[in-house]
């Protein structure tokens, strides 16, 4: 008998087609600094960061409903974790602005190994794009630092170009896992000996 080969295909979800909105979150009960993870998947990275900074707050965005449900199961009972399913871009302002207005520090925003969206016509699905940066530049304070890590050199170069032409052109390259914590995706790539490209960026104080 011939065994049927089952191919596991993890289909990408188009973030622009996921319209779920979160409008009720007004921030955490305390005013401790917040770490943000865009595309947290199983949340291991944030969980390890939590071991280092247990008094900080954590915002996890995850596009995939099932992954977000899993995050909820794993970390939903922690007071300092807030989990949001759906497109992070669509919910960016409503989730982050209330805390910023209260003077809470957003310590770092991680965009770890985002889906590359190779095709030209799919570029607009990328989390970091010109219109997103233009919009957030109007209200996000300069001191907020984004961390971008990827195993895709072409993506790194393209995003770098977008950043250089935006107010977020204060850019610093770095080596080694952020906070010494490799993400799941990163570890899989490192195990295969692949290279990782990394940078931090923020809005130039003189931009406005
Ligand atoms: C390649 S995986 C990387 C997962 C994890 N950051 C890591 O480094 O191990 C990308 C993750 O980002 C999520 N994602 C993609 N676009 C997103 C968006 N616009 N908003 C929230 N999550 C997103 C995907 O569902 C997926 O879980």
Binned at pLDDT 50, 70 and 90, residue 12 comes out as confident
What's the number of domains the chain is made of?
1
Q: What's the 206 CA to ligand 1 centre distance in angstroms?
A: 32
The CATH number of the domain holding residue 103 is 3.40.50.150
Dist. CA 159–CA 122, nearest whole Å: 14
Q: Is the beta carbon of 115 within 6 A of some atom in ligand 1? A: yes
Residue 81 belongs to a domain: yes
Q: Is the beta carbon of 87 within 6 A of some atom in ligand 1? A: yes
> What are the φ/ψ torsions at residue 11 (nearest 5 degrees)?
-75, 140
Inter-axis angle of helices 153-164 and 130-137, nearest 10: 40
**Position 159 pLDDT exceeds 60:** yes
Model pLDDT for residues 165-181, shown as the tens digit of each residue: 999 999 999 999 999 99
Q: Whose CA is nearest to atom 24 of ligand 1?
A: 39
Residue 12 belongs to a domain: no
- Containing structural domain, residue 109: 23-207
Q: Is the beta carbon of 184 within 6 A of some atom in ligand 1? A: yes
Binned at pLDDT 50, 70 and 90, residue 133 comes out as very high
**Position 8 pLDDT exceeds 70:** no
Model pLDDT for residues 38-71, shown as the tens digit of each residue: 999 999 999 999 999 999 999 999 999 999 999 9
**Position 5 pLDDT exceeds 70:** no
Number of Cβ within a 10 Å radius of residue 200 = 17
CA torsion angle 43 48 51 53 (round to 10): -80
Dist. CA 119–CA 143, nearest whole Å: 33
Residue 193's contacts (CB-CB under 8 Å, 6 or more residues apart) are: none
* The pLDDT of residue 17: 87
Number of Cβ within a 10 Å radius of residue 145 = 16
Residue 186 belongs to a domain: yes
For 206, the token pair is 């003189």
Dist. CA 2–CA 99, nearest whole Å: 58
Model pLDDT for residues 104-117, shown as the tens digit of each residue: 999 999 999 999 99
CA distances from 64 to 11, 31, 67, 84, 104 (A): 11, 29, 5, 10, 28
Q: What's the 1 CA to ligand 1 centre distance in angstroms?
A: 40
pTM summary value: 0.94
What does pLDDT average to over the chain?
94
Residue 8 belongs to a domain: no
Dist. CA 114–CA 128, nearest whole Å: 9
**Position 25 pLDDT exceeds 60:** yes
Residue 181 belongs to a domain: yes
Residue 56 in contact with residue 79, Cβ under 8 Å?
A: no
Residue 145 belongs to a domain: yes
Q: Which residues form the catalytic set?
A: 115
Cα of 62 vs its chain's centroid, Å: 9
Q: What's the 194 CA to ligand 1 centre distance in angstroms?
A: 19
Q: Whose CA is nearest to atom 10 of ligand 1?
A: 114
SS3 173: strand
Residue 113 belongs to a domain: yes
E strand residue ranges, 119-182: 145-150, 170-173
Residue 84 belongs to a domain: yes
* The pLDDT of residue 74: 98
């Amino acid at each position: 008998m011939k065994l049927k080969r089952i191919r596991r295909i993890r289909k990408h979800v188009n973030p622009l087609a996921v319209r779920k909105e979160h409008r009720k979150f007004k921030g955490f009960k305390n005013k401790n600094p917040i770490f943000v993870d865009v595309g947290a998947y199983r949340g291991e990275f944030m969980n390890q960061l939590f071991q280092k900074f247990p008094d900080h707050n954590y915002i996890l965005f995850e596009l995939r409903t099932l992954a977000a449900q899993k995050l909820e199961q794993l970390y939903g009972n922690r007071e300092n974790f807030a989990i949001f399913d759906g497109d992070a871009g669509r919910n960016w302002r409503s989730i982050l602005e209330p805390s910023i207005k209260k003077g809470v520090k957003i310590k770092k925003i991680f965009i770890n190994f985002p889906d590359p969206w190779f095709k030209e016509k799919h570029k607009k699905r990328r989390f970091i794009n010109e219109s997103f940066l233009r919009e957030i530049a109007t209200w996000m304070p300069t001191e907020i630092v984004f961390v971008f890590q990827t195993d895709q050199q072409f993506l790194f170069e393209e995003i770098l170009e977008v950043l250089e032409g935006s107010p977020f052109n204060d850019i610093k390259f770095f080596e080694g896992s952020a906070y010494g914590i490799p993400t799941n995706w990163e570890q899989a790539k490192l195990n295969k000996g692949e290279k990782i490209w990394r940078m931090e960026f923020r809005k130039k104080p003189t931009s406005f």
